[in-house]
Amino acid sequence: MSFELPDIAIDVTDRVEPFFEALGRGVILFQRCKACGDATSYEFARCETCGSDDLTPEEASGAATLVTWTVIDRPTHQAFNGLAPYVAGYVELAEGPWLPARILIDRAELAPGLPVALQGATASNGTAYPAFGPA
Amino acid sequence: MGKVYGRSASDFADDAVRRAAADAGIALSDIDGLLVSKGVGDSGLNLKLRDRLGLRELAIASEINSFGATASVMMGYASELIRSGQATTIACLFADAPLKEGLTAGAAYGHRGQLAPVDFTGVRIASGLTSTTMYYALAAQRHMNKFGTTSEQFGQVAVSQRAWAEKNPLATMRKPMTLQDHQDSRLVADPLHLLDCCLVSNGGVAVIVTSPERARDLRQRPVDVLGYGQTHLSPTFRSDSTFGIETGAKKAGAKALSMAGVSAGDIDLLELYDCYTYTVVITLEDYGFCEKGEGGAFVSDGKLGPGGALPTNTGGGQLSSYYMWGFTPLSEAIIQARGDGGERQVDKRDLIMVSGNGGILEHHGTTILTPGESTR
């Protein structure tokens, strides 16, 4: 299993800049809707429940579990050549929102609901992005 | 269809419409509507096709794109347009030419990794989620996590469909397949093996839609459109998500069944969109052929295959015959309804349910067909 990171730069736009900045400090942010109170991932500009864009950043506790995953033996993106097999998947924060993430866990250990913890990953231009290992 | 090289999507489309018109016994000039679906391989196909066909005046002409759901979606639109009198004879078609000689199917279709790595798209790419198959793998794995569905159960879908493909002279893959062959095929994106994945094909299909009155007098036995429905559903991305668990098939199927005035139990044969084996399993559940979560067990006795209780994807589907998006299941339904299935013809075919699925389980269309009355 490869835990190496690919050589990919991630460009960040203003709306989601707080998420990536916090991640660089080891903090996961999600958005709380001021209108209905529900939680939504930073991936979306509007509340997934009511559609409001009046969202406020909130720090996640860091507790998270594995929802689903795929193990890739043959990469389709050239930046992953030599990095296979690797795991990518969806992680669920205790507060509800999901994150797409690189999963730094061996194939045999993967299980639904497995507790996972943030491990820093950094893109080639310095942008922090979510990778999770065993909790 | 299949590994046919040296022809463009427009070439295939031109050929398909001409052949469909000849088959129906109409002149090209009888066509007054053109609905075009193009794949993502060869973007050259567009409404200029009308010039090649010599159709200088059309009442209806549009490109329609609901991805893999397009064929079923088109059948609904075409039916409505004819019913309302906006057009009398509509050619619906799909054509694409993604395959290039010497390139692998993956190279022909691997677009997702080319998205600009900005914001969460960047996170997804840097995390290694760089193909459509990987996203379907996430969906299939969630189904397995939640319901205990197994790779062998997915494999049984592939095996049943290959058995149908053996009887289809146009199918690309006709060599017999065992469940062990499926299990031994390489993992493209775990849990999906190579034999869980559809083919990539060059080719074209055209379907002519007209009024029941007109169809009765034409050369072929007509096929009646009894019902249709579409639903476009994007699940939330958080703990309440139905990703991988339920799709728009549930509502689209119910709408089409209700319009036709029948229930799932009345359906004789199914032509289901099969980009992956998993897609067939979740569609069977959403349509109500079995309980939610029991799709894997439902298919595991081979009931989808030749001689089975629920004949499904009787031409081999996109897994084994040809990848023409929703026009693969739609065209096979028409072949079966007309009784033109040859060695693979299913006897009981009064009600045929057709599905289309597009995006990452985001778009769904359903069509219900029945053999129509002919005066000839």
State the pLDDT at residue B114: 74
3-state secondary structure chain B: CECCCCCCHHHHHHHHHHHHHHHHCCCHHHCCEEEEEECCCCCCCCCCHHHHHCCCCCCEEEECCECECHHHHHHHHHHHHHHCCCCCEEEEEEEECCCCCCCCHHHHHCCHHHCCCEHHHHHHHHHCCCCHHHHHHHHHHHHHHHHCCCHHHHHHHHHHHHHHHCCCCCCCCCCCCCHHHHHHCCEEEECEEHHHECCCCEEEEEEEEECHHHHHCCCCCCEEEEEEEEEECCCCCECCCCCCCCCCHHHHHHHHHHHHCCCHHHCCEEECCCCEHHHHHHHHHHHCCCCCCCHHHHHCCCCCCCCCCCCECCCCHHHHCCCECEHHHHHHHHHHHHCCCHHHCCCCCCCEEEEEEECCCCEEEEEEEEECCCCC
AA letter at B353: M
Q: Does A16 touch chain B (CB under 8 A)?
A: yes
Collapsed DSSP state (helix, strand, coil) of residue A1: coil
Would you call B188 and A89 a contact, using CB atoms and an 8 Å cutoff?
no
State the pLDDT at residue B43: 80
State the pLDDT at residue B111: 56
Q: Work out the minimum CA distance from A86 to partner chain B, whole angstroms.
A: 8
State the pLDDT at residue B79: 98
The minimal CB distance from A48 to the residues B106, B125, B238 is found for B238
Q: Does A125 touch chain B (CB under 8 A)?
A: no
- A positions 36-65 inside 8 Å of B (CB): 39-44, 48-49
With b for 16 or more beta-carbon neighbours within 10 A and e for fewer, the B133-169 pattern comes to: bbbbbbbbbbbbbebebebebbbbbbbbbbbbbbbbe
CA-based nearest residue to B119, from A3, A91, A128: A128
User: Which residue is closest to B238 within chain A, CA to CA?
Assistant: A97
State the pLDDT at residue B41: 86
State the pLDDT at residue B38: 94
State the pLDDT at residue B54: 97
State the pLDDT at residue B30: 97
Would you call A72 and B128 a contact, using CB atoms and an 8 Å cutoff?
yes
State the pLDDT at residue B113: 52
User: Which residue is closest to B236 within chain A, CA to CA?
Assistant: A48
Would you call B134 and A70 a contact, using CB atoms and an 8 Å cutoff?
yes
User: Which residue is closest to A112 within chain B, CA to CA?
Assistant: B145
Q: Is the entire prediction scored with pTM above 0.80?
A: yes
**Average pLDDT score, chain A:** 97
ipTM: 0.98
Residue A44 CB coordination number (10 Å): 18
The minimal CB distance from A41 to the residues B106, B238, B240 is found for B238
State the pLDDT at residue B373: 84
Would you call B118 and A13 a contact, using CB atoms and an 8 Å cutoff?
yes
Per-residue pLDDT of chain A (135 residues; tens, 9 = 90+): 999 999 999 999 999 999 999 999 999 999 999 999 999 999 999 999 999 999 999 999 999 999 999 999 999 999 999 999 999 999 999 999 999 999 999 999 999 999 999 998 999 999 999 999 999
AA letter at B329: P
Q: Work out the minimum CA distance from A69 to partner chain B, whole angstroms.
A: 5
* Helix (H), strand (E) at residue A22: helix A17-23
Q: Work out the minimum CA distance from B67 to partner chain A, whole angstroms.
A: 22
CA-based nearest residue to B80, from B187, B230, B270, B304: B230
The minimal CB distance from A76 to the residues B113, B142, B241 is found for B113
Q: Which residues of B touch A (CB under 8 A)?
A: 106, 110, 112-113, 116-120, 122-131, 134, 137-139, 141-142, 145-146, 186-192, 236-241, 243-244
Task: Decide if A60 contacts A30 (C-beta within 8 A).
Answer: yes
State the pLDDT at residue B42: 81
**Which residues of B are part of the catalytic machinery?**
273, 323
State the pLDDT at residue B110: 58
Would you call A41 and B237 a contact, using CB atoms and an 8 Å cutoff?
yes
The minimal CB distance from A73 to the residues B110, B119, B187 is found for B187
Which of B112, B135, B238, B282 should be substituted to probe chain A, the one whose Cβ sees the most A Cβ atoms within 10 Å? B238
Measured between beta carbons, which residues in chain A are less than 8 angstroms from residue B124? Answer: 100
Q: Work out the minimum CA distance from B39 to partner chain A, whole angstroms.
A: 20
For the CA atoms of chain B, what is the radius of gyration? 20
Q: Does A67 touch chain B (CB under 8 A)?
A: yes
Give 10-residue mean pLDDT values along chain B (376 residues).
91 98 97 96 92 97 97 98 98 95 72 79 97 97 98 98 98 98 98 97 97 94 97 97 98 98 98 98 98 98 98 98 97 97 98 98 98 80
Q: Work out the minimum CA distance from B235 to partner chain A, whole angstroms.
A: 9
